[in-house]
Amino acid sequence: MVNIYQLLGINIDDDAKTIQLAISIHQKAKTLPEKAIEAAKQWLLVPDVRQRYNQKLQQEHPELFTQIAINKEIPQGAKLVCDKCSTPIRSGSKFCPNCGDPVDYRDIASENEVSSGENESDVVITFGYSSSASYDRAVAICENMPSYSVAGDGNKTVHKLSIPLSEIDLIVNLYEIIGNWKTSTFHIGHKQITKRDLTMGALGCYRKYCNSYNKEEYCANNSEYYNHIFGCNRLDMPIQVWGGGWLEYGQFDVFGKWIFDKPRIQKELQDGLLENELCPRLDRQAVMKIFTALPNSISPNTDPNWEYKYQYDYNNETYQSTQRMVGIKPAEKK
């Protein structure tokens, strides 16, 4: 029995999003036969069909599932925090009490979460007493949060709470109220964030995602001209119908085969991941899996899905233009 997971270069327990991304990159790069691509779609993207496929695969290759079973086991008494909304989960529960997400090994809290009750992606907010007319309003909002705590009294009062980024509108609202106070701080991990971070950049984009109508398509934002194969349009590394961008990172060999400059592509991807690291939707591991699956070379001479991209240079003295190959691009649909 063919191990489709192995063909795609993914793990057996990867989620549907990762599977879809892997299929997309292999389909665009033509690194797998069309028959294998169709098999992956039919067998892995439909939940009940995938379950039957996994059962048959496990019968023939039980060793592939041994480590998964170990990884998925939740130790008795383990502290649980929802990996989707950061809500603490009571031991023995099958679903998150806040968002309803099924409980599994991904909800096992890290040491930091157990000791502080905060998730790394939570926004931790602190502020002191203020004579502002908005002080009582800010306190009233914070008191509704399960993570809220207060220490000291009078002018030495310090309020503290952590809010998951899924509540980005609430975080922005609180920033509007207390963000300009000298005593207020907003942190994600060790990074202090500003209103600009919350309303622009990666978090501003995430806020738009939270309020978007079609969440499934928002992050990639693909069109007939762009295919953001890495799953995030803010990485700004799509495959464009006219070529360009990272499709020109490389050089031709003597046979007309395009050899990708993968270190340069990787560096640009890593820079984009760092720039957008605050976004909770950005899956660094999934992005790098797609990068790893990229072919090292493509030859338009033998692959009908690709063609050469030419640049035309004009000579002002001879009034003639010459063309030279500068990269590759997807073949035009006929």
Residue 38: name the closest of 47, 55, 26, 29 by CA: 26
Query: Does residue 57 register a pLDDT over 60?
Result: yes
To the nearest whole number, what is the mean pLDDT of the chain?
A: 85
218 in Cβ contact with 208 (< 8 Å): yes
pLDDT band at 76 (very low <50, low <70, confident <90, very high): low
**What pLDDT score was predicted for residue 316?**
77
Distance, in Å, from the CA atom of 154 to the CA atom of 206, rounded to the nearest integer, reads 37
What the block records as the tokens of 58 is 């496990």
The number of residues making up the chain comes to 334
Query: Does residue 85 register a pLDDT over 80?
Result: no
pLDDT band at 15 (very low <50, low <70, confident <90, very high): confident
**What mean pLDDT comes out for the span 76-98?**
71
95 in Cβ contact with 104 (< 8 Å): no
**One-letter amino acid identity for 284?**
R
81 in Cβ contact with 93 (< 8 Å): no
Query: Does residue 161 register a pLDDT over 60?
Result: yes
Which domains does the chain show, CATH number per domain? Answer: 4-72 (no CATH), 75-120 (no CATH), 123-199 (3.30.70), 216-330 (no CATH)
Distance, in Å, from the CA atom of 316 to the CA atom of 312, rounded to the nearest integer, reads 13
Query: Does residue 112 register a pLDDT over 50?
Result: no
258 in Cβ contact with 220 (< 8 Å): no
Q: What is the DSSP string of 27-55?
A: HHHT-S-HHHHHHHHHHHSSHHHHHHHHH
**What pLDDT score was predicted for residue 75?**
65
Q: How far apart are the first and last CA of the chain?
A: 36
**What pLDDT score was predicted for residue 30?**
76
Q: How far is CA 116 from the centre of its chain?
A: 26
Q: What is the pTM of this model?
A: 0.61
